[in-house]
């Protein structure tokens, strides 16, 4: 085995406070030393590099090593973040940081380590009282006037992953970090990793635990997003927490807002970091809502609502006679446009915002109501910063409906908004499907789709992006490509990003970018048609052409 890698691994062992990852690494090193080639390759993968800290914080597979999520890496991140906050803080008071955690493996351990290290660094550290949804942490940063927040979660990633999401208060209003804060924090983390052992970092148990009243305040604020109208009485619907932490908080919000309790998907309602009933705990993944749809058929439900494991995303399912099993999940764009219509209808001015890969239909809504519109880079760290925002969404099932209290996507407040829409429609003898038809009649028939290519080697993604930049197609099927727009150096007033946008004849577009959280390449397809049928036909043709193009480039 490589001597340098072996030395890094031994140095890691010497400072690792976790007996499980120490035992895991010792066993791996013993096998590698005995000549096990696979074990040696595993050690190399774990120590040849470091899990990068960026605008998404940290996210990766659990395990020992600098390229995994573990207590050593979290301790270094917490100490580095504390140094950043102390450097930025004023002389009058210690910076305040709030820490939350979900139900994934090691989430509570990572949160307590962080609280102790923040307190040891002289910060006022406040730990949420128990495992709670990410939106509660985002709410707490603003509600408590904190300087920062940390949420330990990997959201909808596979069960072997965990992560570390960072928020800033003050002038950032509780949004997730963006440049240059990400690189500045990363530099502090690297200095800690280079100069100090985790065992040398000062710790203190003098952190606070937030009062239950904080959760009460979130519940009250979220219930106020959409109090139940008269049509809510007798509403029949199904809810799944996808083995996450959403249900306890959701059920309290429903009671406060006056909505009937749903039929729950029993097998998925309690937190379980193993996610035993789904391969990927993401409502977007094929089959992930299968149990919810089965429950809906049995309960004769009108619709289904699902949260992802940390409840910052929302999925909606409706009856669909043409779909397999008679149900389908609405796309993130369909839900986003309905909620954008609701926001515009009720707002007195302001800005509707979405990521540039989300449906252009939101711009049509903003224009209809005389509101401002902003297209941002992907992620709520950008969407939440749109000036004058009253509503924002991204097609990946993220919706920001209450920016005065939560500057991040919030699957619970979005559920309340959908429930209000569904109840209003029901009172008039309509359905959510009917609302989609009304939207098309008022704003135009927009249709969207996404093609995702999951890879084992992320270098494949770079090769595809490079090939598209070097020789973009002149046609996609029967339609000409009118323009190719590269965001690598920034454009449309946005920061630089690894994004390509192809403008296609007839008002269609294709946007290609690497995923920011998973080893995927994503292509986003949008068309506008004269009718829903016309839009669907145009989308089918574009999907076939883009699929053929990407297959040829792999």
Q: Could you list the active site residues? A: 155
- CB burial of 463-486 (b: ≥16 within 10 Å; e: otherwise) equals ebbeebeeeebeebbebebeeeeb
Q: Are 269 and 116 a contacting pair, CB within 8 Å?
A: no
Q: Are 398 and 410 a contacting pair, CB within 8 Å?
A: no
Work out the burial of residue 165: count CB atoms within 10 Å of its CB; fewer than 13 is exposed, 13-18 middle, 19 or more buried: buried
263-264 and 303-307 beta bridge pairing = unpaired
DSSP assignment of 368-428, as one string?
A: HTT-EEEEE-SSHHHHTTSTTEEEEEETTTEEE--TTT-SS--HHHHHHHHHHHHHHHHHT
At residue 128, the 3 state secondary structure works out as: coil
Whole-angstrom Cα distance, residue 331 to residue 295?
A: 20
Unique residue bearing structure tokens 């809510």 = 232
Whole-angstrom Cα distance, residue 504 to residue 413?
A: 36
Whole-angstrom Cα distance, residue 383 to residue 377?
A: 7
208-209 and 263-264 beta bridge pairing = unpaired
Contact residues for 306 (Cβ-Cβ < 8 A; gap 6+): 239, 240, 241, 242, 283, 288, 289, 292, 314, 315, 316, 317
What is the CB neighbour count within 10 angstroms for residue 341? 24
Whole-angstrom CA distances from 152 to 27, 161, 268 are 28, 11, 21
Q: Which helix (H) or strand (E) holds 307?
A: strand 303-307
What is the CB neighbour count within 10 angstroms for residue 259? 24
Contact residues for 172 (Cβ-Cβ < 8 A; gap 6+): none
Work out the burial of residue 212: count CB atoms within 10 Å of its CB; fewer than 13 is exposed, 13-18 middle, 19 or more buried: exposed
Contact residues for 128 (Cβ-Cβ < 8 A; gap 6+): 98, 99, 100, 101, 111, 136, 137, 140, 209, 210, 214
Residue 541: which region, alpha, beta or left (left: phi > 0; alpha: psi -120 to 50)? alpha
Whole-angstrom Cα distance, residue 45 to residue 27?
A: 16
Give the phi and the psi of residue 137 in degrees, each rounded to 5: -65, -45
What is the CB neighbour count within 10 angstroms for residue 72? 24
Helices (H), 121-257: 134-143, 181-195, 212-223, 246-257
Whole-angstrom Cα distance, residue 185 to residue 76?
A: 11
Token pair recorded at residue 64: 């020992």
Whole-angstrom CA distances from 169 to 147, 487, 545 are 4, 29, 45
């Amino acid at each position: 085995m490589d001597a340098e890698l072996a030395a890094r691994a031994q140095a890691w062992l010497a400072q690792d406070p976790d007996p499980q990852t120490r035992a895991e690494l010792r066993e791996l090193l013993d096998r590698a030393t005995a000549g096990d080639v696979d074990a040696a390759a595993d050690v190399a993968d774990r120590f040849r590099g470091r899990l990068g800290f960026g605008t998404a914080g940290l996210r990766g597979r659990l395990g020992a090593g600098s390229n995994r999520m573990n207590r050593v890496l979290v301790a270094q991140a917490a100490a580095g973040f504390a140094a950043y906050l102390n450097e930025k803080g004023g002389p009058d008071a210690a910076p305040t940081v709030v820490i939350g955690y979900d139900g994934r493996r090691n989430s509570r351990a990572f949160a307590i380590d962080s609280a102790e290290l923040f307190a040891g660094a002289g910060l006022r550290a406040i730990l949420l009282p128990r495992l709670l949804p990410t939106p509660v942490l985002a709410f707490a940063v603003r509600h408590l006037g904190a300087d920062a927040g940390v949420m330990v979660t990997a959201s909808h990633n596979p069960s072997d992953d965990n992560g570390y999401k960072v928020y800033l208060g003050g002038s950032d209003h509780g949004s997730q970090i963006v440049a240059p804060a990400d690189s500045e924090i990363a530099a502090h983390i690297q200095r800690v990793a280079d100069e100090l052992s985790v065992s040398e970092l000062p710790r203190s148990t003098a952190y606070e635990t937030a009062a239950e009243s904080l959760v009460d305040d979130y519940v009250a604020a979220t219930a106020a997003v959409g109090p139940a109208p008269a049509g809510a009485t007798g509403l029949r619907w199904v809810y799944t927490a996808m083995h996450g932490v959403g249900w306890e908080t959701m059920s309290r919000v429903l009671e406060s807002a006056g909505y009937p309790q749903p039929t729950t998907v029993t097998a998925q309602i309690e937190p379980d970091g193993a996610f035993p009933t789904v391969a990927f705990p993401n409502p977007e993944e094929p089959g992930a809502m299968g149990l919810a749809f089965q429950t809906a058929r049995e309960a004769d439900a009108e619709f289904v609502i699902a949260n992802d494991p940390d409840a910052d995303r929302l999925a909606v399912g409706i009856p669909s006679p043409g779909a397999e099993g008679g149900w389908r999940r609405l796309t993130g764009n369909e839900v986003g446009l309905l909620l954008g219509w609701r926001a515009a209808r009720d707002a007195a001015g302001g800005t509707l915002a979405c990521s540039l890969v989300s449906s252009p239909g939101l711009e049509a809504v903003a224009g209809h109501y005389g509101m401002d519109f902003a297209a941002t880079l992907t992620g709520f760290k950008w969407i939440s910063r749109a000036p004058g925002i009253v509503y924002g969404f991204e097609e990946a099932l993220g919706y920001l409906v209450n920016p005065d209290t939560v500057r991040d996507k919030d699957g619970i407040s979005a559920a309340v908004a959908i429930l209000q829409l569904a109840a209003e429609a029901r009172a008039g003898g309509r359905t959510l499907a009917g609302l989609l038809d009304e939207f098309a009649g008022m704003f135009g028939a927009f249709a969207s789709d996404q093609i995702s290519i999951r890879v084992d080697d992320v270098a494949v993604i770079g090769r595809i992006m490079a090939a598209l930049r070097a020789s973009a197609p002149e046609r996609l099927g029967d339609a000409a490509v009118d323009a190719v727009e590269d965001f690598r150096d920034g454009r449309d007033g946005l920061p630089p990003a690894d994004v390509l946008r192809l403008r296609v004849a007839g008002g269609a577009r294709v946007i290609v970018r690497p995923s920011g959280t998973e080893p995927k390449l994503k292509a986003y397809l949008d068309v506008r048609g004269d009718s829903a049928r016309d839009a669907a036909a145009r989308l089918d043709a574009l999907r076939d052409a883009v699929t053929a193009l990407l297959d040829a480039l792999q």
